Amino acid sequence: MVVLHGLGDSLAGYRWLPEALALPWLGYRLVNAPDHYFGGYSWYDFAGDPTPGIHRSRNALAGLLDALEGEGYPPQQTFLLGFSQGCLMTLEVGLRRSKVLAGCIGISGYVHDLPGLLGGLSPVARQQRLLVTHGTWDSMIPIEPVRAQMQRLRETGIRLEWREFAKDHTIAGEEEIRVIREFVTAARPGTPAARP
């Protein structure tokens, strides 16, 4: 699982995640965003035009996934999880990539340019499993516009599971971790398909 932090955070902020998910068969690659931001890092310019940074970070993450594949971690066994800015990058990478990942998990984020993303969907985007979660009390990224964006993605045939939690801009403890764990476990590589 490749884990993407939010604005101003770093990979150190997610060292607790492997123990919390409690999936001993799953390995993790915690990564830092490319730009320094007040003691942490950012994936794109928060104050100005985010588009160049999004494109650059998307290409960098695509390169990371290619490198992981070269190390013996095929796409169908690789998950992408991101919080806030990391959620935006997860959606950007997962829906534009030409190879289907095991699953993409976005937490408390949004889509920067929905028409642009819809126009850039990869041929396999509608095969990609996604879980997107958000807080009904989110004071940084209000839920209503994000809810509408996710509904639009679902209307285009994207396999997106949307879950709302009574939380602010954070991860809602074990309640939300359990949903993520179940999503990941359902796609565990080698898990036999359910019989009809």
Summarize pLDDT for 145-167 with one digit per residue, the tens. 999 999 999 999 999 999 999 99
State whether residue 109 is helix, strand or coil: coil
* pLDDT value for 194: 40
* pLDDT value for 191: 54
Q: In the chain, where do the E strands start and end? A: 2-4, 29-31, 35-37, 40-42, 79-83, 103-107, 129-135, 159-165
State whether residue 80 is helix, strand or coil: strand
> What is the percent of the chain with per-residue pLDDT over 90, rounded to a whole number?
93
* pLDDT value for 188: 80
* pLDDT value for 190: 59
* pLDDT value for 46: 82
* pLDDT value for 195: 38
Q: Which residues of the chain have pLDDT under 70?
A: 189-196
CA gap 45, 41 in Å, rounded? 10
